[in-house]
Structure 1
Amino acid sequence: MSGQVLESPVSATSRQHDDSVSADRSQGSIASVTMPEPGSGRVFAAYLVVQCCLFIGLVWKYSFFYLADQVYRHFPISDSFFPEWLQSPDVARNAYIGSLSAIILGVFGLTPWMRTFAAMGTTGCLGVLLLHQSSHNDMTFATSAWVSLWVCWLTTRMSHEDPYPLLRRAAFLARVICSMILLGGAVGKWTPEYWSGEVFYDIYFVDRDFWVFNLMRERFDTETLKTMAMWYSRKVILVESIAGLGMWLLPARWAAFVGVTIFFSIAFLSNPLLFSVLTCLVGLSAVGFFVPAKTTLTS
């Protein structure tokens, strides 16, 4: 017939065979690619990093906590604002030891329910320390409590939710917490005394025995130190304000880099005791490094 092209039986059979082979290969390729198990891989690695940093920060607090505990035992202080059980040194000591023990249980726990139970235990112990007469104003336990809340949230989801979406939400929540803490620190410094550098000069530049300030006192006179304190203080205020307002808006990995750099440098360049406050926030900021650049399947 005019306008029609007839296909030979051999050609048609060959084309059908090729299509069948192509489909089989495609199905085999898809079957060989699987999503990571919930609670494994990057999610579990992020969980371990945060837990270990939380533990390190609390252990870093030990020397100061031990001295404070001895003072309270030998010179009892009573404030009627606090109920009797929140005045007891034994309660504070047991809560501190309990928080460390719960973290260890959470790291080595083999089941999801055990990790959740341990995270709730850590959060509860830190909550007691936040309310206790001897530790209610200690920033170590404040930052640690926020990080422990994040861990508690993650443990309730990591065993059954898809890892990549969970990591993105976890990293976003982490940088919101870090931004809030930075902004809180900045707000407390929005005063004439901080802006002039007077507070930082008295705290750090006069007689703080730390390598940075010892080096400055050896090389500069008093007036120069006061000027340096002013600009140092203003730099801290601006960095904390800008990061507090904007870090949570950054992409996950950029926010992780900014957070780790800021929190580590604050302690490294001013006071090693601050590592008890900030190490947990370094770990929390680092969660962003575990977020993949894009959602991909791993074989």
Structure 2
Amino acid sequence: MSADASAAAAVPAPKVNPNAPTEETVLSVEHYTDRLFRFRITRPQSFRFRTGEFVMIGLPKEDGKPLLRAYSIASPAWDEELEFYSIKVPDGPLTSRLQSIQPGDKVLLGKKPTGTLVLDALTPGKRLYMFSTGTGFAPFASLIRDPETYERYNEVIVTHTCRDVAELTYSRNLVNDLVNDPLVGEMVEGKLRLYASTTREPYACMGRITTLIETGKLFADLGVPPLNPETDRAMICGSMEMIQDVKALMIAAGLTEGSNAAPAEFVIEKAFAG
């Protein structure tokens, strides 16, 4: 063996971090408003997650280090691709760059999905509420496309509150298209209901979801009884303020907060993108 070969053999191979993000390819991008867009990326064969969970998504920084933020996975666990629904923050370290991605570009995908907005974190019930504002609809976009959701509940009610009508496009299109979905199309009929409202632009239903719950308008419009811990289960996702306010209303109605370790009547999400 030559001296050069001997020296090369003595150099240890660089360590590979098993938890390092994978580099995935952007497959499609759709912009809804100047504040909201969705994108789909490739899914590694080894990537496993439970419907409703979130994962770290990001881009490499100029110094080569990854810049990652938590994003709810908007596609169901059975999908061969991964979908994400994102807000655009002009001065956001990540979203200011992420909003410019195009098909063919690369994004970073974390390896450890987690979260509490999963069916197993709730005890059995008859009616499932999914309360969301803005991009907080993302985990519910995953859950309403999963057959197990309809196998567990007789009725699934998703609420989506945004400032303007255009910001409701993603949820409205998704729910409308589900009747044609080959996997859950027949299951959603008569079970899934979308209750959308706005807080600024005039719309058929206006008001913050907290107000709609407190006044009873939500239940009157839907023709269902008030929240009942014996029959109703709930998931909450939105801004931190919205989550805390709706959580307080759930507790006032007698529902108990659950988790993966201790399932109960309602769960909240705390992952945010920025």
TM-score above 0.5, yes or no: no
- Name the structure, 1 or 2, with higher relative contact order (CA <8 Å, separation 6+): 1
Answer 1 or 2: which has greater strand percent: 2
* Greater per-residue helix proportion: 1
Interval of TM-score (by shorter of Structure 1 and Structure 2): under 0.3
Q: TM-score, normalised by structure 1?
A: 0.24
